[in-house]
Amino acid sequence: MGGRHRTDELEGGYNPYREPSSRRRAGRGKVLVPLAGAVALAVLLGVAAYVIMSRDKSCGDDKVALQVVASPDIEPAIAKIAADYNKTAASVNGKCVAVTVSDSDSAGVSNAIAGSGATTGKFDGDVWIPDSSLWVAKLRSSPKGAGVPVPAGSIARSPVVLAAPKPVVEKLQSAFGEPSWSGLMSAANAATPDGLGRKIRVLPLDPTLNAAGLSALLAGAGVLKASGAGDDQLVGVLRQLSESAVNTPANMFASMAKQSSRAPIGIASEQGVWAYNAKSKPGEVVAMYPAEGTISLDYPVVVTAQDQATRDAAKNFTAALSGPEAKKTIREHGFRTPDGKAGSGISQANGLNPATPRAIKIPDDATVVKLSQAWSRLKLGGRLLALLDISGTMALPAVGAPGDRMRLIAQTAIEGLKLFPDKTEIGTWIFTTNLNGKGVDYREAVPVGPIGGKLNGATRREVISQSLQQIRAKPTGDTGLNDTLAAAYDKMKAEYEADKINTILVFTDGVGNDDPDGGISNSAILKKLREEFDETQPISIIIVALGADDAAGRRQMQSIAKATQGQAFFPNNALEIRKVFLEGISRRLCAPNCNGSTQQQ
């Protein structure tokens, strides 16, 4: 009644079986009740024992231990999938499988396997899930990584996007309209300091540490190439980006929050924006999807296990990573599944667009490696000694600019300084015959050192600029180029720094040696440079000869450049001189094997 239990059924009440006599009813009931209880208890204990035994079996010593190493962003999702997988008591060859998951940044694992970089070490995982197959492509192109297996599949996607705080999105859109890689490249081009870079502060992720950063460079470089841009424009972009690159997404978001007169725009994965907003507030940072399309992080599964049992376990777990429940977990953690489908967290309210973005195909392995090397070369420090001709012919009128040749060279050099990062070591000499006493044709104007460093209370960059503004041609001076080159080469050899690009940059009007007092002859300087140039410690000579219309003088300067794997330029106006600086910097992409192009007409 009223939901109460019927106690009479336990106390000799209703019994569906007919009993032979009433005399034995009470006694029999009293015997069966304890017996039934004992049987029930035995059954429960048996079930419990079975569960415990089964559980202990999956955790025992006789098991296949599968170690999974995943990119930190996707590790929580993989750990949950693994925990659910372990509950199924999955087995291979009669042995249960125990999956453990740890996180490690993909760049670190890549370096460990390749034996390169600052994070070299041993990788002992059985399954590696980096954030991008770009790491696998780079690895397979390296000597020690050539044996890395082809990925067994991809388990997630996260498009690489442009990211900005919600309050500045309108300002960004008014600056370059629809979000695009071309707009970002323009804003980051060091060759156009008066362009979008004055309004926009680009915050890229270091591509040597972040696949999202490398993906953005590949996408942007592809867009530049499609537009017909040359290496000098790509170098201008890479040089600028290398100055503002941050190591981690956390640092990028923190930098984005700093006050600045320029609107910040960063590079991130869509999931990175989702994760940041999940910790702060929905929609605080907005993801902007480039109009040209984008490259997605693809989270490949690389099986690195050696023994067959572990490889079989890895194969089974890889299949489980693509199951319905695993896909649900992937989406719940801010990722898309390989088909592009997003979870509820990828929403407009959260600053994200659930529509599948247009895809840019990942470039081939050679392109990935080439761009990565270009970045690394441009990140190298530079050590440069600039030699400025102040002989009498430098007072002749300049072509395409007001003032004389000396003024044009000085102003262009000041502009060129802006293209070099603060850590670049630069010094200047001036030269003309008998400048520093009889037979000494050169004099140090500013000693070589980091242009961001202090010198007499100002930065070296400022000191060099002031020196260039005050420089004047010596009306009675002849060139004296060869003696100056010999002394400069000896100095740079003596002070060679292996971790830098060592260069001598000559500004002249191309008249040639022109030293009435003799000095080193044209043939002697060529002999010296050819004999002393060392490809293991290259010191290249780059010559910028303004107004050089003497054929013999041009040939001599081309020979000097070729002897040191350098380059000779013969610009006709100010715009061409500015381009020379970028082309000179772009030589880092080929140094020290740049003999393919030793002259520019």
SS3 of 69-93: EECCCCHHHHHHHHHHHHCCCCEEC
Residue 182 clears pLDDT 70, i.e. is over it? yes
Q: What is the mean pLDDT of residues 50-72?
A: 69
Pairing of strands 91-92, 95-103: antiparallel
Q: What is the mean pLDDT of residues 120-137?
A: 87
How far apart CA 238 and CA 93 sit, in angstroms, is 53
Residue 432 clears pLDDT 50, i.e. is over it? yes
**Per-residue pLDDT at 414:** 87
Q: What is the mean pLDDT of residues 180-197?
A: 76
How far apart CA 129 and CA 211 sit, in angstroms, is 13
**Other Cβ atoms within 10 Å of 397 Cβ, number:** 12
pTM: 0.72
Backbone angles phi, psi at 298, to 5 degrees: -120, 0
Residue 75 clears pLDDT 50, i.e. is over it? yes
How far apart CA 72 and CA 160 sit, in angstroms, is 17
Each residue's pLDDT tens digit, 17-53: 334 444 444 444 444 444 444 444 444 444 444 433 4
Q: What is the mean pLDDT of residues 314-322?
A: 96
**Per-residue pLDDT at 54:** 43
**Per-residue pLDDT at 215:** 96
Find all residues with CB under 8 Å of 196, minimum gap 6, and list them: 175, 176, 183, 186, 187
Residue 589 clears pLDDT 70, i.e. is over it? no
Identify the band that residue 587 occupies on the pLDDT scale cut at 50, 70 and 90. low
Residue 266 clears pLDDT 90, i.e. is over it? yes
- Regarding predicted confidence, which is higher, 267 or 34? 267
CA angle 411–413–416, rounded 5-degree value: 115
E strand segments, 417-553 = 425-431, 442-450, 454-455, 458-459, 500-508, 539-545
- Ranges 274-288, 522-536, 585-599: which has the least confidence: 585-599
- Cis amide bond preceding 76, omega within 30: no
Quickly tell me which residue has 């442009």 as its tokens: 162
- Ranges 165-169, 197-201, 358-362, 578-582: which has the least confidence: 578-582
SS3 of 563-581: HCCCEEECCCCHHHHHHHH
Delineate the domains of the chain, giving CATH numbers in brackets.
Answer: 63-129+301-325 (3.40.190), 158-299+342-372 (3.40.190.10), 380-600 (3.40.50.410)
Query: CA dist 291 to 6, 242, 273, 347, 576, Å?
Result: 73, 24, 19, 19, 33
**Per-residue pLDDT at 594:** 59
CA 574 to chain centre: 34
Q: What is the DSSP letter of 364?
A: P
Instruction: Tell me the three state secondary structure of residue 55.
Output: helix
SS3 content of the chain, % helix, strand, coil (to 5): 45, 20, 40
Q: What is the mean pLDDT of residues 152-169?
A: 95
Pairing of strands 500-508, 539-545: parallel
Residue 109 clears pLDDT 50, i.e. is over it? yes
Each residue's pLDDT tens digit, 377-431: 777 778 999 999 999 989 988 776 778 889 988 888 888 887 788 889 999 999 9
Give the amino acid at 469. Q
The two three-digit tokens of residue 169, written as one number: 């999105």
Instruction: Tell me the three state secondary structure of residue 246.
Output: strand
How far apart CA 256 and CA 55 sit, in angstroms, is 49
Give the amino acid at 14. Y
